[in-house]
A = this chain, B = another copy of it.
Amino acid sequence: MNQQLKNRQILLKTRPVGLPTDQDFEFKEIPVAEAQDGQVVVRTLYLSVDPYMRGRMSDAKSYIPPFNLNEAIAGGIVGEVVESKSDLLKAGDKIIGMLGWQLYNTVDAKTVRKIDDSIAPVSAYLSVLGLTGLTAYFGLLDIGQPKEGETVVVSGAAGSVGMFVGQIAKIKGTRVVGIAGTDEKCDYLKNELGFDAAINYKTTKNLDEALKAACPNGVDVYFDNVGGSITDSVMNLLNDYARIPLCGSISAYNSTDGDMGPRIFTKLIKTRSLIKGFVLSDYASRQEEGLQELGKWLSDGKLKYEETIVDGFDNVIDAFLQLFQGTNLGKMLVKVSDADK
């Protein structure tokens, strides 16, 4: 069967300096590997592109090893089993896993997880019921610890993590202020997701003043996805004992000339604030708890989600690069193929 399938993959060809370009990647035709005992062949349905992947393209030390050059880039993929030599999965099953950017992956069945497409569309497992929903859940609740009546600010608020942060913060009874980069996104946050205020940092004349107006009682929790000068402005409004879950710093990921700004130490002492970087895998042991809560809020209609879906494997690199231009509303996904059923 595999002989009839045409497989392609995307390799990391060179380590990008600054913003990656098409030249850093290579598309390559390869055969579909034969499934051995215990393995399955998975056809990619949706592929997730995420800002953190930029970090893995460099070889600097980080919380996950860098991608190897001349190997397929790996990321979150939802796929359909098209051939199985395992008792764990059968053809037609939908799965999620960390797989290669390929049309087909041949992998041990136990390295992927079967998903239930009757609860939500399969793409949801790459957002609200996946890494980004869980990241929002644990970062906000475990580090941010929002209390009723407090003010929560989230940057990158219309992004895949930010929109869940804001909604969960509303569920917890806080005032929620989002920072995003287009009026369309800000309208969405206020009108669709129930944010109390949203600031377009690209068009506001004075971000400090706009934040002050949106946070008349200061800032108790700042969920940071972006870093840089936006974060500098929020720091001026910290209340005593503020908590700052550091989830991302997208403003710095392509920086080549260092990332300079006001030092924050004196502010943190004065307010006794807490800043903590985190990565979802720190909460691996509590994944079930998170998925259950998110699933419940989703089915109760308390949690909405949005996807920006780019069509076609040929457009994966373009979708990835769009992340750094902020064109996506919610999770950025690439639809690679349709499910058989």
Partner of A274, one of B262, B274, B279: B274
* A87-107 contact mask (Cβ, 8 Å, vs B): 1 or 0: 000000000000000000000
- Chain B residues, Cβ within 8 Å of A27: none
Give the total of A residues in contact with B, Cβ under 8 Å: 38
Instruction: Say whether B260 contacts A261, CB under 8 Å.
Output: yes
- Chain B residues, Cβ within 8 Å of A63: 240, 270-272
Instruction: Say whether A269 contacts B240, CB under 8 Å.
Output: no
* A294-311 contact mask (Cβ, 8 Å, vs B): 1 or 0: 000000000000000000
A249 to B282, CA, bound (A): 30
* A209-238 contact mask (Cβ, 8 Å, vs B): 1 or 0: 000000000000000100110010000000
- Assuming the contacts A270-B62, A276-B275, asked whether A261 and B263 have C-beta atoms less than 8 A apart, the reply is yes
Copy number in the complex reads 2
The residues in A between 264 and 303 inclusive whose CB is less than 8 angstroms from any CB of B are 264-279, 282
Partner of A266, one of B249, B260, B279: B249
Answer whether residue A259 sits at the interface, using C-beta atoms and an 8 A cutoff: yes
Instruction: Say whether A268 contacts B272, CB under 8 Å.
Output: no
Q: Please give me the 7 A-B residue pairs with the lowest Cβ-Cβ distance, nearest first.
A: A268-B277, A269-B277, A227-B265, A249-B265, A274-B276, A259-B263, A275-B275
Question: Contact residues of A with B, CB < 8 Å?
Answer: 55, 61-63, 224, 227-228, 231, 240, 246-249, 252-253, 258-279, 282
